[in-house]
Chain A
């Protein structure tokens, strides 16, 4: 499973290593570490966001290890939907059933519409929407986009996707 944790470190040298070592010891694969040294908590500790892949069975052991070594565990969450894409839709978005459009993504089980902003200047005029779709991985995201493309063609919506070369690893 992929886990995202917010840890709180004491503001003394050597704390980051102390926090990351137990993850490696339990064969976790660290994917990202965001260390915000200038943003202290009211408690005077330094928050660190760590995302890593780890076996679910050792999660409790990990939290115990961290707390024993003096690292505070402020938040633990599962990161299910790791990939994200933004798209813009233009057309008769409401009258072509926005609920259905979103459903088509949500009911895949591997992707969800997690953000939606709408702009409707006037009745009879085309409206515009900004959507964020999250998915379990890059392939699932591609599938979700393919579904949305088909829906957009059927509903006569213009779909604006992000540039592609930039997002694909070279």
Chain B
């Protein structure tokens, strides 16, 4: 049995999803020879630390009842630096301005010789190459499947399954909120403002929808994708971004009459990075509706490969994080 010790830094929707997924899969994984043991959890109010393994069920319950997992005042840094473990799961909220607190957490983890698995886009959209170098310098893994496309295993697909291929370009829908809004506007012929309100009521759009509807979230994901796949050193500022706020139901109707749907498409290839509304033929594999995410990867050997699935959600994102954790567990 191989015991792999983890810390969960950030215990919001994603962190809790990871805890649930580990709970749910613990026995099955033991059957495969891997024992995942969470030794530290921290949220914005404090931490729980237990070198012999935290009882995840009671940690989840305490978070639900008290709003925090905290049993002590130890900080995320205290856990990352001082508690013996192998993998830091960094799941604090995305901050696109300076990447904090994720950026410092990841740096601290690398400097302490720990692998990092993350769902946090901010640090990767701003400082991808620095983080990658820091991981390499310290001889540890840096995995970030959950940062792009939620449950959709896009990095695994490109780096593992399509190994040996040259990626010519990538096109995709990497934001479920805008996809939902555009799909509803087209189906119901409703104006943007109304559908946005509906999406907010359903919890699909946030109270401040700017990140999503102005294409910022999509642009961050595109940057991470381009850096990871093309070895670029792009940042969020290198993306040409157009959002969806000006789109009218009439435009969607005109497009529909001519067998097109309008989607907020992320596009990487020929050295340019673009996020913009685009016409997609209705029968094209990129024309997925609802909150789905999709990516079409054009390669030299395999041709076009298209992958689609749930782009958000606590347990769906946890699926990608768990897969990264297991990759490290099996390969370290």
Contact = CB atoms under 8 A, between A and B. Distances in A.
A127 B247 CA distance: 10
A12 to B, nearest CB: 36
B169 A161 contact: no
For this complex, into which size category does the number of interface residues on chain B fall? 20 to 34
B277 A160 contact: yes
A83 interface: no
Interface string B313-331: 0000000000000000000
Contact of B250 (A119, A158, A163): A119
Given A160-B277, A165-B296, A86 B258 contact: yes
Most buried by A among B169, B170, B250: B250
B262 interface: yes
B171 A128 contact: no
A162 B246 CA distance: 17
A166 B171 contact: yes
Nearest to B171: A165
A130 interface: yes
B182 to A, nearest CB: 11
B297 to A, nearest CB: 9
Which 6 A-B pairs give the minimum distances between C-beta atoms?
A119-B250, A128-B251, A130-B254, A128-B250, A162-B279, A158-B246
Given A158-B246, A160-B279, 10 more contacts: A117-B257, A121-B250, A129-B254, A158-B277, A160-B276, A163-B280, A164-B171, A165-B269, A166-B171, A170-B304
Interface of B: 168-171, 242, 246-248, 250-251, 253-255, 257-258, 260, 262, 265, 267, 269, 276-281, 284, 286, 296, 298, 303-304
